[in-house]
Structure 1
Amino acid sequence: MPLPFLTADRAFDETADDTALPFDDRESWRRPYRPGPWRVGAAAVLLLLASFVLFAAMIIVLAGAYQGAVVCAVVAVVIIAAATRLVRSGAWVCAQGLRRVGFLTTRTFSWSQITSIRTVQQPVRLLGTPRTVQGQAVVVAVKRHDSLGPLLTDHNADFLSRPEAFERAADVLEVWAEEYGHSQA
């Protein structure tokens, strides 16, 4: 089964001419970077937990307590959905606009709504925890909206200890904004 959200950087690796927008189909939503090891590791741990819960559900079915097995199966499905949503979280782009996928919410903005995308030095949260450290963040300015907060940071689950991946993702987001933002404005 192809997993398109895991193949974002392969398009960059396979292009020989170093184009900023290497995707052939710009109408489909793409993440311009690979999910980071922290995000993938957390999702793997959640899937491992789900497998244990499903195994427990099977044992409970064999013991004859069907209601407990149903509860375990529902818990496993919730854990699997959380792991999937965790991997899908991040910034997504296409020709229509920019999509910010969070764990619980998703916000989509057309390129005509976005006034600028830039990288700034500021205190950022370390792996989403309340602890802040000095780092870089990609900030999006949107017409008629309050501050969105940082779109990407160099200390989030995708870019911690991967500064070159953060720089490339920030550059690609800025290029998408330049190409599609000015053509629609």
Structure 2
Amino acid sequence: MPLPFLTADRAFETADDVALPYDDRDRWRRPYRPGPWRVGAAAIVLLLASFVLFAAVVIAATASVSSAGMVFAVALVGIVCALRLLRMGVWVSARGLRHVVFLTTRTVPWEQVASVRTVQQPVRWLGLPRTVQGQALLLVRQGRSAGPEAPLLTTHNADFLGRETAFDRAADSVEVWADEYRPG
């Protein structure tokens, strides 16, 4: 079963002469692959969920069905969390830019985007409170005060830790989408 949210389109990696090589530009897509840290964390959560599902089956066979139902619900929560973890990131389409974090999703139409740029700044290491010096892709919205925006991508998040060339490619791709669809 193909999982389209795990892979970026192969056309982007092979077509160097076309800036936006997608046929259906209205479809939301992530212009990069999820990193090994994100995929590994989701795999561990799914592994734990499989053990919890097995425990639910054992509890259903030996104890009450209501207890098994509770354990089954815990396993479903783990599966949903793993899938949400895999969907996190930046998604683009002809309609705008979508930033998906674990609990929220923020969509910004291209008309509200003033610029998308890469800056050198302290960034959080794997989303933890510890900060290190790195690069971040920032979204600057039109008509907003110059307050700090949360970075869309960083060189030290779960997708790009230890993969600076992948970060550069992903940041360039998002910037190309912004240049293509931003008015003016």
Query: TM-score surpassing 0.5?
Result: yes
Post-superposition Cα deviations, 1:55-104, rounded to whole Å, max 9, x if no partner, equal 00000011032111001100000000000000000000000000000100
**Distance in 2 (alpha carbons) for counterparts of 1:180 and 1:2:** 29
1:122 match: secondary structure = strand
**Distance in 2 (alpha carbons) for counterparts of 1:18 and 1:4:** 24
Partner of 1:169: 170
2:165 is equivalent to residue 178 of structure 1? no
% identical aligned pairs: 63
Partner of 1:49: 48
**Distance in 2 (alpha carbons) for counterparts of 1:147 and 1:108:** 18
**Distance in 2 (alpha carbons) for counterparts of 1:65 and 1:144:** 58
2:128 match: secondary structure = coil
Question: Could you list the runs of 4 or more consecutive aligned residues of structure 1 that deviate by over 6 angstroms after TM superposition?
Answer: none
1:143 Cα offset (Å): 2.0
Counterparts of 1:13-162 in structure 2, within 5 Å, are 13-15=13-15, 17-145=16-144, 146-162=147-163
1:112 match: secondary structure = helix
**Distance in 1 (alpha carbons) for counterparts of 2:45 and 2:174:** 30
Scaled by the length of structure 1, the TM-score of the pair is: 0.94
Post-superposition Cα deviations, 1:117-172, rounded to whole Å, max 9, x if no partner, equal 00000000000000000000001001234543111000000000111110000101
What number of residue pairs does the alignment pair up?
A: 182
2:111 match: secondary structure = coil
Query: Gaps (5+ residues) in structure 1?
Result: none
Q: Which amino acid aligns with 1:4?
A: P
**Distance in 1 (alpha carbons) for counterparts of 2:9 and 2:156:** 19
**Distance in 1 (alpha carbons) for counterparts of 2:128 and 2:134:** 14
1:9 Cα offset (Å): 4.9
Scaled by the length of structure 2, the TM-score of the pair is: 0.95
Superposition RMSD in Å: 1.2
Q: Which amino acid aligns with 2:153?
A: L
Note if contact 1:12-1:18 (Cα within 8 Å) is conserved in structure 2.
Answer: no
**Distance in 2 (alpha carbons) for counterparts of 1:144 and 1:72:** 48
1:124 match: secondary structure = strand
